[in-house]
A and B are shown apart, each in its own frame.
Chain A
């Protein structure tokens, strides 16, 4: 093996400086108490509903304890009832019976099935779980409240419609309200359409409520309290657990990882970059979305002479959850490939990648200059800002000559020496500009990786290089930087899962099994290194997953019945 060159030549200016001749803006520290660029929103309506629900709860408790307050409430209820009952006619009774169908078990069950079908079809799992959880919660709260208040049906009047149990709160009105709110927030995209949906829901609720009052099934206050409970609980659940900024309702075919960067978020990104990095953003555009799935990559044009670009990766809670599910899935299927733990916050996720990038820089690897982390919403959304390699192209689009091959192999050698692993070496993460190879995307990077992981990096690099050249040439050049043992180990460690999916796809598209071709070049082969790792943790996880699956099946069977 030839002596390893000291470093890969990297054309880089002063470390950690923003591009030259940009227009600078004064950085501004956000004082305590001031909202962040994109604050978490319960929104005004959410606060009003919560306040109303709490006020009603307080009044109900007082009414339960105090006879005079209870009687006063009954007087008001009956006055309203008497007024409505004056309108009773046989024709109107027939109409209200028909209208009241909205709040029947069958109608609500059909609405539930329709919602579930759409949510399952579009794989909006979070919306589905919140849908189910909020309905269960509304059901439980209303039933408990009914047992607490034990209010009879309207006294002294002829009740013309079916009813069940105590009157306060009205369970059908609560469930109807919850179903309509869930439908609006999980099926209807934000904006004017959702406003229309909410208006339609309000009309439906009002009509159903009036019909139940007309038919004598509920007191006006029973229906009102039921509506408030049925609206407040799912509304809060959606605002807090499925915020529209992070989990938008959309019917466009796009990856859930790619967030909408228009509107309030786009403005927040611009403001945050200006305040926290001191740059003046001119334009923010999606970049490279076709090849990305773990973040929302952006290219930001910043003011300067000439104007230049920054590369930003927007991370949010949905990326964090995807990371968790991805790692859980891998652990269940293959055991912990590394000793990897899911991140428990977006902040940590971003910090980890920023740290990895800075380690790569310190190891003098051809990586973009890091410019820091920008906070969009505390604990929820962050931007990782780096240099943008303007003019660079993916390695899959350029001619791969000996110089590029050498640079790729040397890059892996340097990673090994620095005690680092990239773990996602694929064409999309290897760029070439003016004949120089550049490495990007460090979301999977690892410090002090296992030897197995280092070997996989080498094999993936050789496979990528061979895609646009020739395995024999790559193998011959590899022997300059690595021993035959190391190369043999690399191809014993790599197969299937350990190759990024883009790499596997491109090999299939070319109709070549480069992995086999490389192994044929080796003078000997090592037995395949097992991917499967068994541990007590994995066994426990598998058993838990099976148990949860069984419980889920039982719950789903129950949930197929009406929410009422």
Chain B
């Protein structure tokens, strides 16, 4: 094989990676992203640490608790100011649940309801309840807000909403701080010394 052929082949493979990978599993599990809530003594999950960094004030960080049958974790993103988790449902469509972590959120028009999460107030705002369910749920806590956007197109409403809710849990910032400090040999904390994150 000539050098030219080898070079062109190598570059073609590199250039084809975007196309090839779309055919492969690019789910978070497929690429090794782990946002499971887990146990504090377990290893740090870099994804959760990055999500915590995205909203430096948030006292609670959403994490993946238990993916129900028929649901898949489609996407995890983290950027300055927000992080998202996106779940698909085989019965209720793609992007059936989007969970977004931000520093604050607008709960105008939402109804306060009893919260199932310690340290957080919960609000609900249904937008459509026929032919599925479209609506938002807010968890507001010190330094942050997690928004659930439901976009369900299946026949039933209550079951998928419950399933989706079970999929996502919360871990505290303190847990992530502890794990980060442990993994860096006690050298580097998660947050700067002047961090304003508050206890939930």
Contacts and interface: CB of A to CB of B under 8 A. Distances in A.
A147 B26 CA distance: 11
B147 interface: no
A484 B53 CA distance: 90
A75 B46 contact: no
Given A78-B188, A140-B17, A152-B53, A147 B180 contact: no
A152 B31 contact: no
Interface stretch (A1-9, A154-162, A541-549): A154-162
Which interface residue of A74, A139, A156, A163 has the most chain B CB atoms within 10 A? Answer: A156
Interface in B37-96: 46-47, 49-50, 53, 56, 77-81
A375 B102 CA distance: 66
Contacts of A120: none
Interface residues of A, number: 33
B194 interface: yes
Contacts of B80: 159, 161-164
A150 B187 contact: no
A241 B188 contact: no
Interface in A215-266: 233, 237, 240-241
A74 B187 contact: yes
B192 A156 contact: yes
Given A71-B185, A152-B49, A379-B2, A137 B15 contact: yes
Contact of B47 (A136, A150, A233): A150
Interface in A133-184: 133, 136-137, 139-141, 144, 147-148, 150-153, 155-159, 161-166
Given A136-B18, A379-B4, A156 B189 contact: yes
A155 B79 contact: no
Interface string B156-200: 000000000000000000000000100011011111111100000
A324 B198 CA distance: 68
Nearest to A137: B14
B185 to A, nearest CB: 6
Contacts of A71: 184-185, 187
A233 B10 CA distance: 11
Contact of A155 (B31, B81, B189): B189
A75 B190 CA distance: 15
B108 interface: no
Contacts of A164: 77-80
Nearest to B32: A147
A168 to B, nearest CB: 11
Contacts of A155: 180, 184, 188-190
Nearest to A151: B46
* Interface range on chain B (Cβ under 8 Å from partner): 35 or more
Interface string B1-40: 0101001100100110110010000000001110000000
A156 B15 contact: no
A194 B185 CA distance: 47
A237 B15 CA distance: 11
B61 to A, nearest CB: 13
Nearest to B185: A71
Given A152-B49, A155-B180, A155-B190, A162 B79 contact: yes
A165 B77 contact: yes
B50 A153 contact: yes
Contact of B17 (A144, A163, A166, A237): A144
Contacts of B11: 133, 137, 237, 240-241
A156 B185 CA distance: 14
Contacts of B21: 140, 144
Nearest to B33: A147
Contacts of A163: 79-80
B77 A156 contact: no
A23 B191 CA distance: 81
Contacts of B81: 162
Contacts of A141: 14, 17
Q: Pick the most buried of B11, B18, B33: most chain A CB atoms within 10 A of its CB.
A: B11
Contacts of A74: 184, 187-188
Contacts of A139: 18
Contacts of B31: 147
A153 B188 contact: no
A136 B15 contact: yes
Contacts of A159: 53, 56, 80
Contacts of B189: 155-156
Contacts of B185: 71
Contacts of B15: 133, 136-137, 140
Contacts of A75: 187
Contacts of B193: 156
Contacts of B49: 152
A147 B28 CA distance: 10
Nearest to B50: A152
A273 B79 CA distance: 62
Interface in A476-498: none
Contacts of B2: 379
Contacts of A162: 79-81
Given A74-B184, A151-B46, A165 B194 contact: no
Interface in A352-375: none
A151 B32 CA distance: 13
Interface string A282-300: 0000000000000000000
Interface centre among B50, B180, B193 (most CB of A within 10 A): B50
Given A74-B187, A152-B49, 7 more contacts: A71-B184, A71-B185, A78-B188, A133-B11, A151-B46, A153-B50, A156-B189
Interface of A: 71, 74-75, 78, 133, 136-137, 139-141, 144, 147-148, 150-153, 155-159, 161-166, 233, 237, 240-241, 379
Top 7 A-B pairs, shortest CB-CB distance? A150-B46, A155-B188, A164-B79, A137-B14, A140-B17, A158-B192, A162-B80
Interface of B: 2, 4, 7-8, 11, 14-15, 17-18, 21, 31-33, 46-47, 49-50, 53, 56, 77-81, 180, 184-185, 187-195
11 contacts: A71-B185, A78-B187, A140-B17, A147-B32, A153-B50, A156-B189, A159-B56, A164-B77, A166-B50, A237-B11, A379-B4
